[in-house]
Structure formats: C-alpha cells, structure tokens
Chains A and B, each alone.
Chain A
C-alpha cells in the first residue's frame, strides 16, 4: 500500500472579524492577540502555524480551550477559510480549491470524527454509517456491505438498526468512527473525538484507534486537550497556545526537553515510564556483563517490569537482530521515570 500524502501547513493565519485580511500585516509585525482585540476588535485565531504532518502517522495537536486547536483542524478540510497561508496535501493547496474541488476533496480524501458525535438522529446506525458513501453517490447493497464491515470492526455488531440516542456515548462515537472509516479516505480528522467520553471508555477507544491504525496507516490528525492522550496516540505532537505552535516533536522530545515553562508545567504530571524509550536513557555503545537483554524501542515501564521479573540489575539493549546497542541499569531506568524537580 502506497503511503498516503502528508499534510503541510505553512504560514497559516486566521483572524476572525470583518476585515481579517488587512490585519495579517499587523500580526506579522508583532501585534499581540490582546492588542489586536482591544484596538481593532479582531480576534487572532491562528498565528503563523507551520506544521508538517507526516503521511500514515498520527499527528496530535494539543492545547487548552481557546488555543485554536479546533480552528486549526477545520482548516485542513476548510470548514473554516484561512485568512492567509497554505494547507498542502500533496501538490494541492486546500485553500485554493474551488467549491466543487473542495467538495470532491472532502468526499474522497478526508473523513471527520466530532467531539459531540454529530450523528444524524433520524437515521439508524447503518444509515449513519453509509452517509459518506451516499454523498459520493454509492448506495444500496454495496455501500451497506462496506459499512457493515466497519460497524463490526468497531464492535457494534447487532446494533445496525438502532437509533443513535438508544446508544451510550461510547457507542455513539464508535458509530462516528465507523462512519468516518467507511468513507475510505486517506486523512482522518478527529476533533476531540474522545473528550466527551468517560476515562475508561476513552482508553478503550484509544486502543481501538491504535489497533486500526496498525493496519490502515492513515494520516490522522487528532485534536485533544489531554496530554496523556496526546502522548499515547501521537507519533508527532504539536502544542498550541493562543493560536501559535509553541513546540512540536515526538512525545519523548516534549517530555524531556519542554520548550518553555508552560509546557514543563504540563509534562510534570506525565507518567514518564510510558513515554520514554530505553534507547534514550541507555549508555550507548556500552556492553555490560549480564545475560539479560531488552529489546530496542520498548518503554521504560516495560523495562522496569522485566527487571523486576528477572531479578537482574543491568541489561543490554539489543536491536531486532540481537546486536547489542548499549546497556541500561535498573537504577537508570527508575531515575528516568521519576520527574526531576527542575528543568
């Protein structure tokens, strides 16, 4: 399967207000969000966003409410028009598409899952799931067969003829996911898709998503305000504040090298054992006198578990072929899992 295109967001600005376009210049010259609001009555939604979202990977955009994350995801399928900038999918600039090109792009290239599910209340689970295909002009048996497969894949067998409000929140969002997957689009946009669910169900849905991604390799853009969720799902994470990206990188990079105090406050509460890999902490190139080995690329938490089970105090980290890459002591593993007092 060919790897889908990534999404490149370049110099994207969104300024809400009657005359946003003429305000871009002022923002580029350094006018703050507050000043823009007070002096010109325009709201700065997104400020010079540059993110490259790799194809076939999960990119998480994280931020608190009001940070512009929901605005950002709506630029990818242009539910919101940008004030300036580019959103590139392959060679195409989503921002320059005509109405009909945009409609085709939305029908065939993107699918979206919403925080409040946004299912059609008058349609059954099956009728909701075929919605995307119906819009594309595919209907009847063929569409239903495809939909049935995804309904089953998200674990809703036997609920095809139920109406959405006969289902619990978690089940409704499974319908939302099935509806998006049935569309068979390369890009999956998830706008706080699991935020409205209670913690256990949220974990459950994250697992469903990760399992699906293992075989599907879609370009997923996932919006969340929950750092744990971001770290669990994201191959790449971008953190947004007041409409600007303040740091982007892998989960490990963000936890180990937070760009500023705002982020370091965030990452303090994170369970590092589930973010940091043994490769990062090990003494690279050293080989210890021990018969215990750890696979390259496992998390510290897993390593700690293996230390506890084996009773060894030091292990060699090896790659897939068994070649040693470095050594890791239990001491190192545990101290890396504990949040340091200062950054």
Chain B
C-alpha cells in the first residue's frame, strides 16, 4: 500500500532545501544589506524630521496646523471641530507623543504609496499585459500574512523605522494601485475618442482627461491606503515602529485592558479624522458632477 503514502519530499531533503535558501538569503543580506539601507536613508531622515517636528513643536501650534489641514481638505467646520476635540482628548490622556509618531509614520507611508502606486496604476491601465502581471503580485501582497514578509525585511534592515515603513507600504499600496487602474479604465470611451479626434498626444490625454476623470476613484484609493496603513501600524510595532502600536502590543503581552483600549481608541480617532477629511476632499473634487440639469 505504498501508493497511499503522499509522495512528499524526504525530511532530510526538506531540511537541506530550507538551509540552502535561508543560507543564500543570509549571504545576500550580508552582501547587499548596507547598500539597501543606504538607499532608504533619505526616507528615514525625512521620517525622523517629520516626527521631531510634530513632537518638538509646541502642541498648540501642532494642533492648529493639523486642524488647519483638515479644514483645508474638508472645508467643513463640523469635521474640523471633531478633529480638535479628538486631538485634545488624546493629549489629555497622555498619548500625544505616540499619536504624533503614528501620524508621522502614516503620512510617510501614504506618500510613498501614492508616489509608487499611481505610476504603477497608470501603467496597468495602459496595458493589459501589465495588468495581468501586476494583479497576482497585488493578490500576494494583500493575502500573504504580514508577519511572513516582516521576516526578510527585518533580516535586511534590522529592527527600526525603515522596515516598518516598508512593511506598511507593502500592505497599504494594493488599493492605491488597483483603484488608480480602475479609475482610468472607467473613463468614458466617448470622451477619450473626442480627445483623440482633437489630436491629443498620449501625455495630453493622460493629464487632461484620464487622470482628472479618474481622480475621485484615485482619492478613494488614497483613503483606503491611509486606513490600511493605520491598521498595519500596530503590527509594525512588533519590529520596532514606535507610536500608538507599541502600547497596544505591550497591553496584549501584559493583559493591560485599559491601556489597550485607550490606545486603540486613539488609533480609531485619527483614522476617523483622516477618513472624513480625505472623503470630504474627494467629494469636493466631484463638484461638477453633482449639479445636474433638471
């Protein structure tokens, strides 16, 4: 009854395979780790600068600055007032510094995701082959448990901010790419034909027609990207990203219920602020489609 046995790789072979892969990856890390780290140095510097700016500046200034940005995006007194109250409560409960760190990380991660995600999304929208290549990669990025890709990232970069940012970006960039692609593909073909008929070049078509018309969808992508970054910040605290995630991690390890809930609620609060502000901004971009002739 030999055939009933699953024809699996022998235990020894399997071990050899693992050793071989791990070994060569470790060698790769040793050889290229420092070089890779150097590439990401400017990113780290920027993150540290932003974090210091938010923490070292007097809190009323930071508060006014943040609420000002929220107001500029949303043009809504209600949302701005909500943001003010939420930030004041966060400060009152002693979570100001951690919150600032988290805001800094999320801001940087979102910026990286936007800068990388929009061009990839555009490329995907322009070529079906590109789409068929990128789509499975995005599936992988979204479904692979985040802990799994933390391992190689930590092996290369060690613990700290940069690996945290990379891990968060990997997790948060897929909706950015997907929604940019979708937004461009959904642009009315009649309007594109008109642009062609007037002799638009590819670039003119992209800048005058495709991107502006896809913008509401792209904004939804940015919004999703921010939300996912915030969710990932807690996991990233396991590899040394400071901020609201670390107290949550501590609370899990020590069963500090109150501490966990408070920091969790702080994350929820800034998530809601970011969400409402970006959504209101996205809506404002669609002003032209709201007023319908009747």
Q: In the complex, are the beta carbons of A112 and B200 less than 8 A apart? A: no
Chain A 115-138 interface 0/1 with B at a Cβ cutoff of 8 Å (1 = within): 010111111000000011011100
Question: Interface-forming stretch among A99-107, A254-262, A317-325?
Answer: A99-107
Say whether chain B's binding surface is mostly helix, strand, loop, or mixed.
helix
Interchain CB contact (< 8 A) of A166 among B190, B201, B292: B292
Interchain CB contact (< 8 A) of B197 among A112, A119, A120: A112
- Additional pairs, 12, CB under 8 Å, beyond known A121-B289, A135-B198, A163-B291: A106-B197, A106-B199, A112-B194, A116-B190, A118-B188, A120-B209, A120-B213, A121-B191, A131-B198, A135-B199, A163-B289, A166-B292
Interface size on A, residues (CB 8 A): 31
CA distance A105 to B190 in the complex (A): 20
B259 smallest CB distance to A (angstroms): 48
Query: B292 — which chain A residues lie within 8 A by C-beta?
Result: 165-166
Chain A 59-80 interface 0/1 with B at a Cβ cutoff of 8 Å (1 = within): 0000000000000000001010
A313 smallest CB distance to B (angstroms): 53
Q: In the complex, are the beta carbons of A79 and B212 less than 8 A apart? A: no
A-B CB contact pairs (8 Å), 9 listed: A104-B199, A108-B199, A118-B191, A119-B191, A119-B194, A122-B212, A135-B199, A135-B208, A166-B292
B27 smallest CB distance to A (angstroms): 49
Considering the complex, give the chain A residue whose CB is closest to the CB of B287.
A163
List of 6 A-B pairs having minimum Cβ-Cβ separation, nearest first: A106-B199, A107-B199, A118-B194, A112-B197, A163-B288, A118-B190
Considering the complex, give the chain A residue whose CB is closest to the CB of B213.
A122
Known contacts: A122-B212, A163-B291, A166-B293. The answer to whether A111 contacts B193 by CB under 8 A is: no
Query: B289 — which chain A residues lie within 8 A by C-beta?
Result: 121-122, 163, 165
CA distance A168 to B292 in the complex (A): 9
CA distance A103 to B203 in the complex (A): 13
CA distance A77 to B196 in the complex (A): 10
- A83 interface residue per 8 A CB criterion: no
Query: B291 — which chain A residues lie within 8 A by C-beta?
Result: 163, 165-166
Known contacts: A135-B200, A135-B204, A168-B293. The answer to whether A122 contacts B288 by CB under 8 A is: yes
Interface size on B, residues (CB 8 A): 21
Query: A222 — which chain B residues lie within 8 A by C-beta?
Result: none
- A114 interface residue per 8 A CB criterion: yes
Residue in B191, B194, B288, B289 with the greatest tally of chain A CB atoms within 10 Å:
B194
A164 smallest CB distance to B (angstroms): 8
- A296 interface residue per 8 A CB criterion: no
A177 smallest CB distance to B (angstroms): 13
B205 smallest CB distance to A (angstroms): 9
Total number of residue pairs linking A and B with CB closer than 8 Å = 73
Query: A103 — which chain B residues lie within 8 A by C-beta?
Result: 199, 201
CA distance A307 to B190 in the complex (A): 50
B213 smallest CB distance to A (angstroms): 6
CA distance A134 to B200 in the complex (A): 10
User: Which residues A273-294 have CB closer than 8 A to chain B?
Assistant: none
Interchain CB contact (< 8 A) of B196 among A79, A116, A163, A167: A79
CA distance A63 to B116 in the complex (A): 50
B189 smallest CB distance to A (angstroms): 9
Query: B199 — which chain A residues lie within 8 A by C-beta?
Result: 103-108, 132, 135-136
Considering the complex, give the chain B residue whose CB is closest to the CB of A124.
B288
Query: A166 — which chain B residues lie within 8 A by C-beta?
Result: 291-293
Chain B 175-204 interface 0/1 with A at a Cβ cutoff of 8 Å (1 = within): 000000000000010110110111111001
Query: B200 — which chain A residues lie within 8 A by C-beta?
Result: 135
Query: B188 — which chain A residues lie within 8 A by C-beta?
Result: 118
CA distance A119 to B289 in the complex (A): 13
Q: In the complex, are the beta carbons of A183 and B288 less than 8 A apart? A: no
Q: In the complex, are the beta carbons of B198 and A111 less than 8 A apart? A: yes
Query: A316 — which chain B residues lie within 8 A by C-beta?
Result: none
CA distance A123 to B198 in the complex (A): 16
B118 smallest CB distance to A (angstroms): 18
Considering the complex, give the chain A residue whose CB is closest to the CB of B197.
A112
CA distance A232 to B200 in the complex (A): 33
CA distance A91 to B188 in the complex (A): 35
- A110 interface residue per 8 A CB criterion: yes
Considering the complex, give the chain B residue whose CB is closest to the CB of A171.
B293
